[in-house]
Structure 1
Amino acid sequence: MLLEQERRDICLVARSLTALPGAAPGRTGTVSVRSGDLVVVTPHGVPLDQLQPADCPVMSLDDRVLEGRRDPAAETTLHMAVHRLAVEHGRDVTAVVDAATADTVAVSAVLPELPPIHHRAASLGGAVAVTPYATYGTGEIADQAVKALKGRDAALLADHGGVALGRGPGHALENLRLLDWLCAAYLRARQLGEPRVLTEDELAQISHRDTYGWAGPDIW
């Protein structure tokens, strides 16, 4: 079986998506992992918590299905576009995860972007762009996602939810969880008043600080 370990990894991450706070019920969410020029993706029509490795299709970067007993998920078009761009630009991205949670959908339905109100936003690239609305599973939403993810590890898809990238499936899931947490924190802050947003200079200082260990650049 092609990419057997990657298929197992996808099943584990897919099950984790169903446990996200406020996760949409049913089959909402897609996971993909690239190894070289091959991509494994979650299939269409199977609940995420019931996936088996053999269900997951293996595809080439030119969208041909090479193996798998199920058809690819609808958002495969988006995932393949991101993987092709990562290869083209040499980005260290091998996994993509998209999912709908109550908080990511709420923010994506109202705001033009998610402002950075916590230093952890810097690890995703700062402010998180929200794409214009497009029908799921189409080339239009794929194109919009690719634009929103330039220089970023996460984006919000208007009225759909969030998408995150990573160096592997675990890292992509971690970034999606972070995106969901940042959305929740922003929504809670808005209940209290107008949130304080970190500036570009402050985000740059955070990124600089991240290059040091516990002591930081100026403890001495």
Structure 2
Amino acid sequence: MTQDAIEQAWDAVVGTARRTVTDGLVVGTSGNVSARVGDLVLVTPSGVPYDRLTPADLVAVDLDGTRIRGRLAPTSELPMHLEIYRRTTARAVVHTHAVHATAVSALVTELPLIHYMAAALGGPVRVAPYALYGTEELAAHVLRALDGRTGCLLRNHGTVTYGDDLDQAYDRTAQLEWMCRVWLTASSVPGLAPSLLSAAELDEVAEKFRGYGRPR
């Protein structure tokens, strides 16, 4: 692992964090982004506006959460990020407080199958039960909701997705927010209920994706 690789990964973390603000997925310093480089996890710091982050603000921890580099405290959601890295193949994690996804998380225990892109996240998107932010309890809830999935909702909180890189993790976040918006829009029409896909229809999509390339 070279210094250049770490610096490039940090640039990508900062760029992705700023994108969450630009695209309206977070407000202020809410949400957080991380990337794994070898045995290090580069993560956004706590309480610092993303537009103020510089190369000197790099924060890196090991998989036990010990700070290896940087002077700033890592995000309060570090337990959730680390548990995902320890238990999955994740190389990048994006957590947001996206409006439509957060609204859906307060209504259902699983996002209804409103669109076939749920297959790109591994199947029906679950809602992790509520727990105080930044706790090991929340991290455990999230890990269970992610079983066989690459994204989930957090009850009354937001979203978390992971991927092989930050682009993939971010694309999955954006896709999840879009699906939540579609379901909320369709279900808000008086007197009508949206049609939903069956599990068999979603399985058919998942099979087609396997021959299509990497869904993002």
- In the superposition, the TM-score normalised over structure 2's length comes to 0.92
- Distance in 2 between residues matched to 1:48 and 1:183, nearest whole Å: 25
Q: 36, 44, 47: which is aligned to 2:46?
A: 44
Equivalent residue in structure 2 for 1:62, among 52, 61, 64: 64
Cα deviation for residue 28 of structure 1 reads 0.6
Aligned ranges 1:85-96 → 2 under 5 Å: 85-86=87-88, 91=89, 93-96=90-93
Q: Where do 1:63-82 residues align within 5 Å?
A: 63-82=65-84
The question of 1:148 aligning with 2:151 is answered no
Give unpaired runs (5+ residues) of structure 2. Answer: none
| Corresponding position of 1:217 | none
Matches for 1:115-130 after TM superposition, within 5 Å: 115-130=112-127
The answer to whether the Cα contact below 8 Å between 2:20 and 2:26 also exists between their aligned partners in 1 is no
Q: CA deviation at 1:59?
A: 0.7
Task: Give TM-score, length-normalised by structure 1.
Answer: 0.90
Contact persistence 2:84–2:143 (CA under 8 A): yes
Counterpart CA distance in 2 for 1:51 and 1:77 is: 22
Identity, in percent, stands at: 38
Q: CA deviation at 1:213?
A: 5.0
1:19 aligns with 2:22: yes
8 Å Cα contact 2:39/2:62 also seen in 1:
yes
Q: CA deviation at 1:138?
A: 0.7
| Secondary structure of 1:162's aligned partner | strand
Residue 202 of structure 1 is matched in structure 2 by 201
Q: CA deviation at 1:117?
A: 1.2
Aligned pair count?
208
Contact 1:101 1:180 in 2 (8 A): yes
> Secondary structure in 1 aligned to 2:15?
helix
Alignment partner of 2:94: what SS? strand
Q: SS in structure 1 opposite 2:29? A: coil
Amino acid in the other structure paired with 2:31:
G
Q: Which residue of 1 aligns with 2:104?
A: 107
Q: Which runs of no fewer than 5 residues in structure 1 stay unpaired?
A: 215-220
Q: Is the 8 A contact 2:20 2:96 kept in 1?
A: yes
**1:37/1:213 CA distance change after superposition, 3 Å:** closer
Distance 1:97 1:24 in 2: 11
Q: How far apart are the structure 2 equivalents of 1:105 and 1:84?
A: 26
Structure 1 counterpart SS, 2:205: helix
How far has the Cα of 1:212 moved from its partner? 3.6
**1:24 positional shift:** 3.8
